[in-house]
Structure 1
Amino acid sequence: MTVRAWRAWRGAIYLLKSLLSGIATVLALPVLVHPRLARSWADLHRRRAGALLGVLPAPRPAATATVRAAWADPGSRRDLLWLPVHAATGVTSGLAALLCLGNVVVAAVAVPLWWAFEWDERPRLFIDVPVPDWTTALTLGPLQIVLLVALACLVLPPVARGHARLCLAVLTPSTVEQLTDRVAVLTRTRADVLDAHGAELRRIERDLHDGTQARLVAIAMRLAVARRKLSGDPADLRFVAGLLREAHEGTEEAMTELREVIRTVYPPILADRGLAGALHAVTARCVVATTLDLGELGRVPAAVEAVVYFAVAEALTNTVKHSHATAAAVTVTRAGDRLTVVIADNGTGGADDRRGTGLVGLRRRVLALDGAVDVDSPPGGPTTITLELPCG
């Protein structure tokens, strides 16, 4: 199949699907005016349009909960505007593709089987030319096929791309709206980062004060007692030996706690084995069978490495605890200055960070680095978590 024919075929499939979805939009319009349903329906068409044009639409925030609030949200207003626009353009362009391809099928049937139809029911070529004999069938039939296939190759791809561009143009926020959303996200994430940073400092202080510091004080006291008791008496020597044994054990426990605290700040495995080695270790020790697909990552900033490591570990932990999955997959790729991480499983789904699960911390870590998080986890599964992080 030539490139032109392939483009015509893709354009035809896109337009026929647009015809079906346009009809569905008209029939389901009273239901689709709900903001969340309108957002899901619009995002479906954004993904279709992006796939046809070879672009990746930027993720958008969730829609507002009520119809009244939707009119105050530019994104929701844009979704509602898209419904009648798509109903009109999708049906119109889809009917043009159906008419073109349908007449190709008519001609293909008329050439060999014209004689099998009654006179009044015989297929007609070029809209209103009946097929009374083999001469007409063998001349006009192939001619109609050739002309319509050529027309499809010339017309359907640009029509499909035009519809896709219209879709993205209507549903893509303006520059002012993008800047406004960006400022709002940065303001919110800055507050979250400050809260998370304060909580992390308090946790580290508490761990060191209540755990490691207490053990070191106990060790110092044992060593002080041992020094005072040190003499030639065998009983004192046995007592000192017991204190030294306890001090040694306490030292080992304190070192273990220190390593745990350090690991929560920056995992040593990242410094020792890099991001690729750390992810191999995380996926290898996961109870659920997990595959890891790593692209060419290049140099990744340490902060991004830590976020990716903790995010993958958290997501796989949730998979083991809650999803009842039998298989999971982690894919890490890089395109330019964007690192994309996809964690997927075949579990029961239903993951929702709005319920205060571990996904909240994951989202905060990613947003703190000006990244994006998309959680697709319908009830019944599967679950796909997509992270995008800047790594320039």
Structure 2
Amino acid sequence: MTPRQRWAQARRGGVYLLGSLLSGVATVLALPLLCVPRLARLSANWHRDRAGRLLGAPSASRPAKPATKRRAWADRATVRTSRALLWLPVNAISGMALGLPALLCVGNIVVAMIATSLWWAFRLEDRPRLFIDVPVIDWTTALTLGPLQILLLAVLAYLGFPPIARAHARICLVVLSHSTNEQLAERVAVLTRTRADVLDAHGAELRRIERDLHDGTQARLVAIAMRLAVARQAFTENPRDEQFVEGLLRDAHEGTEEAMTELREVIRTVYPPILADRGLHGALTAVTTRCGVPTQLDISDLERVPAAVEAVVYFAVAEALTNVTKHSQATAAGVQVSRTADRLSVVVTDNGTGGADDRRGTGIAGIRRRVLALDGIVDIDSPAGGPTAITVELPCGW
């Protein structure tokens, strides 16, 4: 992980901890209001989603209300309400206990900045003091102890904010985690939804292939057949008109090459021939080499990978790098592919401006559909200002 990414983690951890502190204080002040079951569940869902985003864990959607099992739904709602009410005191204690150090660290950095640059604007008795209780009364103190305090606190934030924030997020997920039955119900709901998406995508893909073949390749083959028929008739009726027949045959030959090119393009969208010719390593090497942003490929020994998984990885990496080139304003990107047991992991990173969102139609929704179709996971970490990391995990132990 680069220093810039570590600083981004520290920044996100600090924002998370300060938000947890505010949430803990608000919980104490508005405890009677938050004890309302619906508000408690809404608060718990917000905290769970927030913790899941920090830890990079996909937030499971809440199960849909069954039309014929209202009592089961009511029982699950009661359990969720109990956990949400339990989270209120836990959030008040953990949020304030873990968020207060972050506030003190950030606050002392601000004080040190004021003491370093504006000490002369205060009256002598009101001049700020550094955390070692040294008053700033001259430029020597301001330019030595002030930057030293800022540096020490920045190092503490750099090293301490991420693990402390992750600790609070794990506490949140432990308290608000779903029961086994709820996890099973949500898993069934996710598989049902992805199955429907796969069927819709499969139907759309078949229609696209049929349209491409009908409007492109088939039309060219019909034109070729007509030219060959005219050439045959012309040759039969007037064998000496060689120039006319030669022109028809030349047009038919060119049309054949164009039809073959279009047919190859259609085949490439179904299963890229480069995967069959060069394997996943060679295909990803070609994709990263063609990328408009300098891209480093790190791929380990993957052993045997199912063809369906290879195709999803290829299209996911190609689409992600296309987004990097078009939207990220990045100067460098990376693709890391590794395998652990029966899980294949792909991480595409860039140092661009961030803000990737599958709701903006940048191709990430297509990646997510392909991955979910194979029971995989997609995680997007792309804060405003960057960097961006798209992680794809796929089962490959078929």
Match of 1:343 among 335, 348, 353: 348
Q: Which residue of 2 aligns with 1:269?
A: 274
2:330/2:352 contact within 8 Å kept:
yes
Cα separation, 2, equivalents of 1:335 and 1:325 = 29
| 1:73 to 1:305, Cα distance in 2 relative to 1, 3 A | farther
Matched, 1:238 2:243: yes
TM-score by length of structure 1 reads 0.66
Match of 1:38 in 2: 47
Q: 1:200 to 1:232 in 2, by over 3 A?
A: closer
Aligned-partner residue type, residue 383 of structure 1: T
Distance 2:78 2:208 in 1: 38
- Name 2:305's counterpart in structure 1: 300
Cα distance in 2 between the residues matched to 1:77 and 1:253: 66
Number of the residue aligned with 1:26 = 24
Task: Note if contact 2:354-2:384 (Cα within 8 Å) is conserved in structure 1.
Answer: yes
**TM norm structure 2:** 0.65
Structure 1 unmatched ranges of 5 or more: 1-17, 48-56, 65-70, 96-160
2:296 is paired with a residue whose SS is strand
Letter in 2 for 1:189: T
Match in the other structure for 1:203: 208
Q: Secondary structure at the match of 1:287?
A: coil
AA aligned opposite 2:24: V
Shift in CA distance, 176/350, structure 1 to aligned 2, threshold 3 Å: same
Q: Is the 8 A contact 1:318 1:358 kept in 2?
A: yes
- Which residue pairs with 1:374 in the alignment? 379
C-alpha contact (below 8 Å) 1:345/1:383 kept by paired residues: yes
Q: Is the 8 A contact 2:49 2:59 kept in 1?
A: no
Question: Counterpart of 1:60?
Answer: 59
- Structure 2 matches for 1:125-144, cutoff 5 A? none
Q: CA deviation at 1:372?
A: 1.0
Q: 1:76, CA displacement in angstroms?
A: 9.7
C-alpha change, 1:253 and 1:228, in structure 2 (3 Å) is same
Structure 1: which 4+ aligned runs deviate by more than 3 Å? Answer: 18-25, 27-37, 61-64, 71-84, 89-95, 161-168, 231-235
Higher relative contact order (CA 8 A, sep 6+): 2
Q: 1:93 to 1:365 in 2, by over 3 A?
A: closer
Assess, with a 3 A threshold, how the Cα gap between structure 1 residues 247 and 359 changes in structure 2: closer, same or farther.
same
Relative distance call for 1:261 and 1:163 in structure 2 (3 A) is closer
Do residues 174 (structure 1) and 172 (structure 2) align?
A: no
Alpha-carbon spacing, 1:319–1:165, altered in 2? closer, same or farther (3 Å): closer
Alpha-carbon distance in 2 for matches of 1:289, 1:79: 47
Structure 1 residues 354 and 76 mapped into 2: Cα distance closer, same or farther (>3 Å)? farther
- The 5 A counterparts of 1:1-392 are 23=21, 25-27=23-25, 29=27, 38-43=47-52, 47=55, 58-61=57-60, 81-82=86-87, 84-89=89-94, 167-230=172-235, 236-392=241-397
RMSD, aligned α-carbons:
3.7
Structure number with greater Rg is 1
**Alpha-carbon separation, structure 2, partners of 1:207 and 1:359:** 24
Distance 1:386 1:19 in 2: 25
Unaligned runs of 5+ in 2: 1-15, 35-39, 64-75, 101-165
Cα separation, partners in 2 of 1:169 and 1:35, compared to 1, 3 Å: closer
CA contact (8 A) 1:39 1:76 kept: no
Contact persistence 2:53–2:59 (CA under 8 A):
no
Q: CA deviation at 1:189?
A: 0.8
Q: Is the 8 A contact 2:293 2:330 kept in 1?
A: yes
After superposing the two structures, state which structure 1 stretch, 306-315 or 370-379, moved more: 370-379
Deviations 1:269-308 (CA, angstroms, capped at 9, x unpaired): 1111111111111001100011111123121111010000
Note the C-alpha offset of 1:360. Answer: 1.3
Q: SS in structure 2 opposite 1:381?
A: coil
